[in-house]
């Protein structure tokens, strides 16, 4: 087998890159270790930035997004139960976000890949990368049902997430990593009940953070901050609803419709960046290169921003032979990645309860949130980051 770009991983980064390159006439093969239904059924992100919604439009993947996506012009913040709204559209000159689950995005990407003849290898075991920095062309190997497979290519795009193999192909003396691990996690549930309101509520409460989100007018997504030693079984539905309503406060809590949850899981929070995002003929994109805590809803959108820049760079290379774009990829992507890392870290810091927090730190948090409530400048800064910073081209 031969192709121009071998894409490792069929998550959002890999599949958006595959569609972008295919549309530009560049040949790709996507190699994924799981099954389609596994990837499609992972419950993850829910909020799309304008660049992500626009990209789905540009790729002709937005039929369901336009029909079912919920466009939000604002978000709410709650401080000890007092709720105030930030008008994202007014603060940014008209930008919005769209609530549309990652699972739906994946479904649309896979359906269109089938229709357009983009080849995806599912169930690839033992994926390995070879000759990434030699005169020879890179080679990807794997086994499929016990049979050895081999793909020759010009470039490899490592879109295989935080636990993938691509990042570790970069030699230890080249790779630099930067990390923060937070002393708490998010316990999330899905329930088929109407959401608490038509926009999200991010709540800072003395007991910890809570988030009211949604997937549709009939499906709610809620999160509460929990400790890292807790298990989903420690939180039967009634206990979850009681704690959620307490943290959202009287007004937010009263708007919550309770019902049986059908998904309940805990995710740890982490900030992580690997540099550089290119080594030889290997490029990293998405979670393979960076992780943000979920507070700013940046993970999926950051993967999209990376692959827009990478697809441009590779397309220029294959059409003109110029390496300017691929040489600049790592620096361009990282310039935006670090700003999203900063925002996600900051938003986490002002909304969560830290175990070592004393009265002074708590009052600084309260002052910061009250500053946001009363200052148009502070609201503008939050809003422009939340809807997504411009791409670095």
Q: For residues 376 and 382, what is the distance between their CA atoms, to the nearest angstrom? A: 10
Q: What is the DSSP string of 150-163?
A: EEE-SEEEE---TT
What mask of x and - would describe binding to ligand FAD in positions 249 to 268, judged by CB under 6 A?
------------------x-
Angle among Cα 204, 210, 215 to the nearest 5 degrees reads 135
Segment lying near ligand FAD (by CB under 6 A), choices 225-233, 243-251, 294-302, 376-384: 294-302
Nearer of residues 138 and 161 to ligand FAD, judged by Cβ: 161
Please give the structure tokens belonging to residue 20.
């972008």
Helix (H) / strand (E) containing 335: helix 324-351
Q: Which does 32 bind (CB under 5 to 8 A by kind): ligand DHB, ligand FAD, none?
A: ligand FAD
Q: Which does 31 bind (CB under 5 to 8 A by kind): ligand DHB, ligand FAD, none?
A: ligand FAD
Per CB under 6 A, the list member of 19, 221, 278, 336 interacting with ligand DHB is 221
Is 9 a binding residue for ligand FAD by CB under 6 A? The answer is yes
Q: 210 CB contacts (<8 Å, ≥6 apart)?
A: 78, 201, 203, 222, 223, 224, 225, 243, 244, 247, 248
Told to judge if 38 belongs to the known catalytic residues of this protein, a careful annotator would answer: no
Q: 105 CB contacts (<8 Å, ≥6 apart)?
A: 12, 48, 52, 56, 300
Is 44 a binding residue for ligand FAD by CB under 6 A? The answer is yes
Per the CB < 8 A criterion, the answer to whether 350 and 368 are in contact is yes
N-term to C-term CA, the chain: 33
Q: Which does 298 bind (CB under 5 to 8 A by kind): ligand DHB, ligand FAD, none?
A: ligand FAD
Per CB under 6 A, the list member of 7, 47, 382, 387 interacting with ligand DHB is 47
- Total residues in contact with ligand FAD, by rule CB under 6 A: 33
Per CB under 6 A, the list member of 7, 28, 45, 55 interacting with ligand FAD is 45
Told to judge if 339 belongs to the known catalytic residues of this protein, a careful annotator would answer: no
Beta bridge partners of 205: 208
Alpha-carbon separation of residue 317 from 127, 314, 323, 361 (angstroms) = 26, 5, 6, 51
Please give the structure tokens belonging to residue 25.
């006439």
Annotated catalytic residue within 72, 205, 290, 352: 72
Per CB under 6 A, the list member of 98, 261, 295, 365 interacting with ligand DHB is 295
Residues making contact with ligand FAD (CB under 6 A): 8-14, 31-34, 39, 44-46, 102, 124, 127, 159-161, 163-165, 267, 286-287, 294, 297-300, 303
User: What is the contact surface with ligand DHB in residues (CB under 6 A)?
Assistant: 45-47, 200, 211, 213, 221, 294-297
């Amino acid at each position: 087998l031969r192709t121009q770009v071998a894409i490792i991983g069929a998550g959002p980064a890999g599949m958006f890159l595959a569609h972008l390159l295919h549309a530009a006439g560049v040949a790709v093969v996507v190699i994924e270790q799981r099954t389609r239904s596994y990837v499609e059924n992972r419950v993850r992100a829910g909020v799309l930035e304008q660049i992500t919604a626009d990209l789905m439009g540009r790729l002709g993947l937005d039929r369901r997004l336009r029909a079912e996506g919920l466009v939000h012009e604002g978000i709410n913040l709650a401080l000890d139960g007092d709720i105030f709204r930030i008008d994202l559209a007014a603060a940014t000159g008209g930008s919005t976000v769209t609530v549309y689950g990652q699972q739906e995005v994946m479904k649309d990407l896979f359906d269109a890949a089938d229709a357009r003849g983009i080849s995806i290898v599912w169930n690839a075991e033992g994926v390995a990368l070879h000759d990434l920095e030699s005169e020879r062309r890179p080679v990807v190997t794997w086994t499929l049902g016990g049979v050895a497979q081999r793909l020759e290519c010009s470039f490899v795009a490592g879109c295989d997430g935080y636990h993938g193999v691509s990042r570790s192909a970069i030699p230890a003396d080249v790779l630099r990593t930067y990390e923060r691990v937070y002393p708490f996690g998010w316990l999330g549930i899905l329930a088929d009940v109407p959401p608490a309101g038509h926009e999200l509520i991010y709540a800072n409460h003395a007991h910890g953070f809570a988030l009211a989100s949604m997937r549709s007018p009939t499906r709610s997504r809620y999160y509460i901050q929990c400790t890292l030693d807790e298990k989903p079984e420690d939180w039967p539905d009634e206990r979850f609803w009681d704690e959620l309503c307490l943290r959202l406060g009287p007004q937010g809590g009263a708007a919550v419709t309770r019902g049986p949850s059908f998904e309940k899981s805990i995710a740890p929070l982490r900030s992580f960046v690997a540099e550089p995002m290119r080594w030889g003929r290997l490029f990293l994109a998405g979670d393979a290169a960076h992780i943000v805590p979920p507070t700013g809803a940046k993970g999926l959108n950051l993967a999209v921003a990376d692959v827009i820049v990478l697809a441009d760079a590779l397309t220029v290379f294959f059409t003109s032979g110029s390496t300017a774009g691929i040489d600049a990829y790592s620096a361009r992507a990282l310039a935006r990645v670090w700003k999203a890392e900063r925002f996600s870290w900051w938003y986490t810091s002002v909304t969560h309860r830290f175990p070592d927090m004393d009265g002074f730190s708590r009052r600084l948090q309260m002052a910061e949130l009250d500053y946001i409530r009363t200052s148009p400048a502070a609201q503008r800064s939050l809003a422009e980051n939340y809807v997504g910073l411009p791409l670095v081209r």
